[in-house]
Amino acid sequence: MFKKILVANRGEIAVRIIRACKEWGISTVAVHSDVDADSMHVRLADESVCIGSHQPQNSYLNISALMSAVDLTGAEAIHPGYGFLSENAKFAEITTKHGIKFIGPSSDLIKKMGDKIEARKIAKENGLPIIEGSSERIISVVDAKKISNKIGYPVLIKAAGGGGGKGMKIVNKPDELEKLFSQAKLEAKKYFNNDDVYIEKYFKNPRHIEVQVLSGKNRTIHLNERDCSVQRNHQKLIEETPSPVIDEKIRSNLLNQTTQMVHNIGYEGAGTVEYIYQDGKFYFLEMNTRVQVEHPVTEVATGIDIVKEQIWIANKGDTTLTQEDIKPRGHVIECRINAEDPSKNFQPSPGIISVCHQPSGFRTRVDGAIFQGCKITPYYDSLICKLICQGRNRTEAIQRMLRALDEFVIEGIKTTIDLHKKILSHKKFVSSDFDVNWLSKESFY
């Protein structure tokens, strides 16, 4: 096994990875920006290195500073977490070239899956259903018009290098196409330095369903699906497993086809294949070549520690798990606690946490990096903590989550705790009668 791992991330995911390393008996190196010197991941790690100033490009995105930290501490592997450099093919390539193990798939696969047009092609070649649309990048408005007429309006223009909803344009009518097409290209160039765009049919009210996989050189297994349809601006807020809206036949098709595709491409490590689901059919959206924020939902249901398995596969190449080992139990829900004020249009709420009491109790898990007196700075993502509850069924999971949310006390900053209480008691959530656009239409305040 590795002797020392450098965690190239911050916040709750850095803490999560350090915990997994400790259980494997691996020493840990935390890296941090100047403003994060007192944060939880720095306190928990065996060693820490300050790699730059508060702006991400100077610290957590600074490849040369990270490589210097590796050199300085003698770490053998890097865990990138999620966000920051986790899906940066160049970073994976540089670490590998220097004889440092990147905990994730090969840089080649990261690159292919990062290009959404290429990922679409791979999915199609491997038998996954894809959304009707262009198979190549669209260069001219003439081509855009042709393809849009063929698939029928509304259509969605997406950036090949995209993510997080940026560079995405919904075109409802033919006369809007020309303007939105050039806007999408400009935004794609601006955000991703790549103005390649493609066009797909737009789905009005889909659910977001994804499949968690673990893959070694020897075999690929799935850890069932997660349903992440409570979203705001393409950001997930609540995730659950199993999906309350798909039947056994659709589920087994989805899981088997996904496992086959991931096996075919020679994927190594943990990954997630995302789909949209509408009218009884699922369609490939993209593949995330990293651990995801909502991975604890699957961990709690299956009893498999995904991060520890990631590290194992990175070190040994193979996975010791078989599909028979995966026996999910009950229903699991996760609520993301963000430092935002939902009553003021989710305005960021940095500050000092003056009182912090985290819930606990039966089948209640908290993954976070917060403590009483800690400072939530405005420089990074607003996610501060995740609350995960399991029940024998969905009803019990909701009841337990509401109980745990009631116990949760965070003072000094505004959080999404109160909003979660409102959502979980809403009749639409209770009856699973919602889609990814529900939250933006519903008024809770």
| Interacting residue with another protein among 76, 154, 379, 421 (CB under 8 A) | 379
The closest alpha carbon to 389, from 337, 339, 327, belongs to 337
CB of 381 to another protein, least distance (A): 6
Tokens 């908290």 sit at which residue?
366
**Pattern of binders to another protein over 20-39, x per CB under 8 A?**
---------------x----
Site for another protein in 332-361 (CB under 8 A): 339-340, 347-348, 350
Q: Retrieve residue 313's tokens.
A: 């596969």
Whichever of 52 and 242 has its CB closer to another protein, that residue is 52
Q: How far is the CB of 60 from another protein (least distance, A)?
A: 13
Q: How far apart are CA 86 and CA 234, in angstroms?
A: 19
* Residue number with CB closer to another protein (127 or 164): 164
Angle among Cα 286, 134, 196 to the nearest 5 degrees reads 70
Closest C-alpha to 78, from 66, 87, 62, 89: 66
54 lies in the site for another protein, by CB under 8 A:
yes
Catalytic residue list contains 290: yes
Side-chain half-sphere CA neighbours of 241 within 13 A: 21
Looking at 207, 290, 365, 400, which residue is catalytic? 290
Q: What is the CA radius of gyration of the chain?
A: 21
Q: Is 381 in the site for another protein (CB under 8 A)?
A: yes
State which amino acid sits at residue 337.
I
286 binds another protein (CB under 8 A): no
Report, in Å, the least distance between residue 443 CB and another protein.
21
Nearer to another protein, 154 or 348 (CB): 348
| 373 lies in the site for another protein, by CB under 8 A | no
With b for 16 or more beta-carbon neighbours within 10 A and e for fewer, the 421-441 pattern comes to bebbeeeebeeeebbbebbee
Q: How far is the CB of 227 from another protein (least distance, A)?
A: 25
- The angle formed by the CA atoms of residues 233, 225 and 134, to the nearest 5 degrees, is 60
Asked whether position 163 contacts another protein by CB under 8 A, the answer is no
Tell whether residue 84 is a contact of another protein (CB under 8 A): no
Contact positions toward another protein, by CB under 8 A?
Answer: 35, 54-55, 190, 339-340, 347-348, 350, 378-382
Residues that are catalytic: 290
